[in-house]
Structures are given as C-alpha cells and as structure tokens.
Amino acid sequence: MSHKAPSKHYRKGISLIEIFRMFPDDATAEKWFTDVRWPDGVHCPHCGSDNVQTGAKHKTMPLRCRNYKECGRKFSVKTETVMEGSNLGYRVWAVATFLLTTSLKSISSTKLHQDLGVTQTTAWHLAYRIRNSFEEDDQNFNGVVEADESTLVGLKRICIGIRN
C-alpha cells in the first residue's frame, strides 16, 4: 500500500536497536557527546579557550584548560550540562534521553529504572534533569516537532542541554 498521507509507517527516526548500535559502550557515547558539543574542537566551558589538554590523569575530569593566567580549570564533557555531577555513564544518558524524547506519553521513573538498570531514585533524577532542560532553554525548536505525540527530532540538542 503506497500513499503520501502522514503515518507511523513513513516516519523516519532511530530505533532502539540503532541507539544500542550507535552507543555500544561509554567511550563511544562520550565521543559522540564531545563531537556534538564541540564540533569545531574542544574548548574550555569556563573561559572559552581552545587551548585544552586532553588525557589528563584525573578520573572524572580528563580535560584541562591551558589558559593558566585566567582559568586553568579541569573539566569534562559533562561540565555545565544537565549531566554535570552525575556518576552515570554517557551511554545511560544517551539511552535515557532517547527513551524520554521518543515516548508517546512519557515514561515513569519506575519504567526508566527497569530499562536502564539504575535505582528508581536515580531514574527519577535523570528524567527530571532531562525534562527540566526544556524549560531552561528559551530558544525555539528546529526541525520537526509533533506536539501531540511528543516526537522530537533533534536528539543531540536535547542530550547536551547546556545550562545558561
């Protein structure tokens, strides 16, 4: 059956299987978040300098600003995003964001905790941060937005959720 009317059959998007192929581990997910956040190369979120040392020995802050006179601070991809201060891996954040932004009627924290293998409290805080990132951003959405079904095209914009 071939017709041009909009329906689920004709929607383009990413399936859950494709998300797991995209992010087989935390390192791949971290690289994706890095590339999306800094498409022109890593720069310090504190001072904006592009003179950044990678591979620092700090476990949670592997990047360091080399602008010692003004900054010199350590940071990670999570710094100044909704992921800041979280011990969850990048893969968990990517999958959670996908689940929350593609669900037709949202997802409860108990369902999210079962799907992600985290505690219910952690799932609640994770969902809260992702949902709250919509409120903090006063920019208009780009691309396709279907408000009646909460289908949001632009996963990368939501995942980063940069704070003001």
pLDDT tens across 69-127, in order? 788 888 888 888 889 989 999 999 999 999 988 887 788 999 999 999 999 999 999 99
Is the pLDDT confidence value at 153 over 50? no
Would residue 133 count as lying in a domain? yes
What does the radius of gyration of the chain's CA atoms come to, in whole angstroms?
A: 18
Would residue 27 count as lying in a domain? yes
Domain count, the chain: 1
Q: What is the pLDDT of residues 27-40, one digit of tens each?
A: 999 999 999 999 88
Would residue 9 count as lying in a domain? no
Measured CA to CA, the distance from residue 12 to residue 130 in angstroms comes to 23
Would residue 22 count as lying in a domain? yes
Q: What domain range includes position 88?
A: 14-38+80-160
Would residue 111 count as lying in a domain? yes
- 3-state secondary structure string across 78-131: CCCCCCCCCCCCHHHHHHHHHHHHHCCCCCCHHHHHHHHCCCHHHHHHHHHHHH
Confidence of residue 152 (pLDDT cuts 50, 70, 90): very low
- pTM of the entire structure? 0.74
